Structures are given as structure tokens and as C-alpha cells.
Amino acid sequence: MLFSGISFIYFFLPFTLLYYVIPKRFKNLFLLVVSLAFYFFGEPIYVSLLIFSSLVDFTHGLYIEKYRNTKKAKIALISSIIINLGLLGIFKYTDFFITTFNTLSGAEIPLTGISLPIGISFFTFQTMSYTIDVYRGRAKVQPNLISFATYVCLFPQLIAGPIVRYTDIEKEIDQRSTNRDEIAEGIRRFSVGLGKKVLIANLLGELCMTFKGMNEQSVVFYWVYAIAFSLQIYFDFSGYSDMAIGLGQLFGFHFPENFNYPFISKSITEFWRRWHMTLGGWFRDYVYVPLGGNRVSTPKYLRNIAIVWLLTGFWHGAAWNFVLWGAFFGVLLILEKLFVGKWLEKAPAVISHVYTIFIVIISFAIFNADGLNGVLTDLKGMFGMSALPIINNESIYYMISYAPMLVVALVASTPAPKMLWEKLISEKIKLFAEPVGIILILITATAFIINGSFNPFLYFRF
């Protein structure tokens, strides 16, 4: 079930608002039940996997607390990590490893055909962070299974993040409240996210699908496609994160921000401080820092960056283009740490910004390619090495057709609209304009969804 679907917006979500009349002692139980139902509608078979994951880390947390500062606690931590990574490995990477082995060895081992459970990359990282933080003493153990399972299964952030650590909402699990202002802000945030997803990302997705279905392509259209996809994945994922954060506020939870206008960055380092921030923070705190971070010798420091980015690429998908994508960013970040970063600091802002956007567009061409062969095909097309025309009539037609959408997306990816809104619109006008704007977004988005428009979610099965 997608947040941007009619069944969620007009059936499931209104039902969850019974939360406000449920007695306080049953609120977590209610959220747990509706969250399991939400997951069941999209993944009926694997809801048992979600329950199993909750039970595993709940019991491991209790065991770690009971035997704190002993070898048994460390064994329990290692057990939790192995089980979580084992689940991720079995369901996400088994066929990838079999395919790779078959390709390299010439063997014909049959694929398992295991389908990827929705959201497994997110909820396994969340449950792992809990046991690690309990072991480190950074989080208090949760003695109530219902409360812990509510944290793991909470439907706003269950299938696509943000990656919410237990420490982010530790106090709110059992002690939270809602008020009119919080509910209003939650509705506003959800609506903005819905607009980003349906009215911008989906239309950009249509352009990308049109490009993939064309026989007559050109160098210019390859670049338009790469730009459109970069913007699509931003509005798709940041819109979904906005919806998740807004939904969390409706129930008294405050999830961490996940995006902060990444396309205004002036270096790749800055870009990754602004893009998918909860994932970056997770790898920093649970991989990079334990490896020594930057407080080690230069070779080990560069090794740490390389490990983190290979894992980041691998986390995104079981295909070699994702590994290449992670390695690509790892190399660039290493170069920035060594010497490019100093040059970027001295360079005019426009130069550093153009450099960053150029790299980001190429990176998402790698990300969205169909395997390594697809990477080669797309990059050759972008750089005029495929005997394609620079531009043709089909490219001109679609560029003109989607030009307004691309301009809107480019402007909306910057803080400019928000800054103009804050500076030019008075508070009295905002009191009227915001509710009207929210209603218009909901009506327009609903019309687009009912019309059967393109409505995928790119991170849905990560």
C-alpha cells in the first residue's frame, strides 16, 4: 500500500484516526495492529518476517541488559547482528550472488526466486541500531514487547524510512502527546510530500519511461533523461519522507529529517550531508566510527571511506551498478578529502555548484542503469560515443512538452520557494492560504491518481 494511493489516503488513514479516541494505555497496541495490517496489505506472506525480526531484537535487547558488561552480552549483540544481516542477505542478495557465481564460473546453479520483502533494508537497520545502542549504553532497554514492536512496525516509516533509530523516539514510544498545532503541521507536511510525489516525481517518471521506450534517441535527450531521473528520485523519496514525517506527527512522533535541499550543494561531501541523511548517519555511527573514522592513519582513513561507500552502494540494491555507484562516490569523496575539497573551497560558488550537479547527474545515470552493460550504454549515449545524433525531432518534441515540468522541479528543488513564501507573505494571508493550498494539493493529487497516472515508488523494495 502506497501513501500516494487512494486506498491509503481515503480509507486506511481515516481509519487510523480512531487513535485519538483510544485510551492511552491501548494506543501503542492500536498502532501496532494497524501497522501490521498496513504491511499485510502489501506483503501478506512476509508479515511473519517483520514479527520475527521484532521478537529477535526485543529478546536480544533484554539479554544484553541482563548480562551487561559480560561476554554473554557481546555474544547476544553479535547474534542479533548476524540474524539481521542474515535475513537481509538471504532475501535480498542470494540470487545476486548465485548469478555472479554462475557468470564467473560457468556454473548453472538455479536461482531461488525469493522475492524481496518490502522495507527489509529499512527495518533491519532500525532493529540493529536498537541492540547496538542498548549494548553501548546509549539506549535503555525496552521491557514491553508491544511498545518495542510498535517502534519496529510503525507504518509511517516502516517501508521506506526515514531510518528511525530507537534513540530518536525513545521517550515518545511510551510518553507522547498530540495537540492541534502538531496535527495541523502533520497534515501540512503529509500534503506537501504528496504533492512532491504525485505532481512532480510521477510526471518526471513519465518522461523517463518515455525515453526508455523510444527507439530514436539523441545525446541531448540522454542528458534530459538523466536530469529528469535525478529530480524524479529526489522528489519521489523526499516526498515520501515528508509524508512519513507528517504521519508520524499525527501520532505524536518526531522523526528525523531525511533531506535538506541536496541540489544546492557545492561539493559531493556536502551533497551527502543533505541527501538521505538518516542512512548517512547510520553508516557513520555504526560502521565508519567503529572502524576508526578519521582518527586513524591516512591509509586507514581512506579505507574506512571506501568500505562505507561500497556498503552504501550494496545496500541500495543487489546489482553491480549499485556497487559501482557506491564506489564512484567513494572515490570522489576520497579525492575531495585529499585535495579537490580545498580547490572547491577557493573556487567561485558557481563552479563548485556546477561540478557537484554534473557529478550527481552522472551518478544517477549509473544508479538507474540496467546492470553494468546498461551503465556503459547510458554513459556512451550521454557523451556522444554511440553514433547518436546530437538532437532529433523526437527529442525536441518531448523537451518542449516537459520543459515547464522540468523548470518547476528545478526551482522546487531549491529553498527559493520557501524563502519567498516566508519573506513576502504576511502571517494573516498564510492563515488563509495554507489551508487552501493543502486542499488544492489533495484535490489535484487525487485527480492525478484516479486518472491512472504513473505512480510507482522508487525505494519501495529497498
Domain ranges of the chain: 6-176, 182-450
Regions of the chain with pLDDT less than 50: 461
> What's the confidence (pLDDT) of residue 342?
85
The model's pLDDT over 22-57, given as tens digits with 9 standing for 90+, comes to 999 999 999 999 999 999 988 888 899 999 999 999
Cα 417 from Cα 401, distance rounded (Å): 23
153-198 pLDDT, tens digit per residue, is 999 998 887 999 999 999 999 999 889 999 999 999 999 999 999 9
Q: What is the DSSP letter of 277?
A: H
**Any residues with CB less than 8 A from the CB of 323 and at least 6 apart, and which?**
310, 313, 314
Q: pLDDT tens digits for 318-344?
A: 899 999 999 999 999 999 998 888 888
Cell, residue 247: 504521519
The confidence score (pLDDT) of residue 104 equals 87
Helix, strand, coil: what percent of the chain each, to 5?
75, 0, 25
Q: What pLDDT score was predicted for residue 76?
A: 96
Supply the mean pLDDT for the chain: 91
**Residue 456: predicted pLDDT:** 60
* pLDDT at residue 462 in the model: 52
Amino acid at 156: P
- One-character DSSP codes across 365-406: HHHTSSHHHHHHHHHHHHTT-SS--S--HHHHHHHHHHHHHH
- Long-range pairs for 337-342: beta carbons < 8 A, 24 or more residues apart: 337/269, 337/301, 337/302, 337/305, 341/267, 341/269
Active site residues: 316
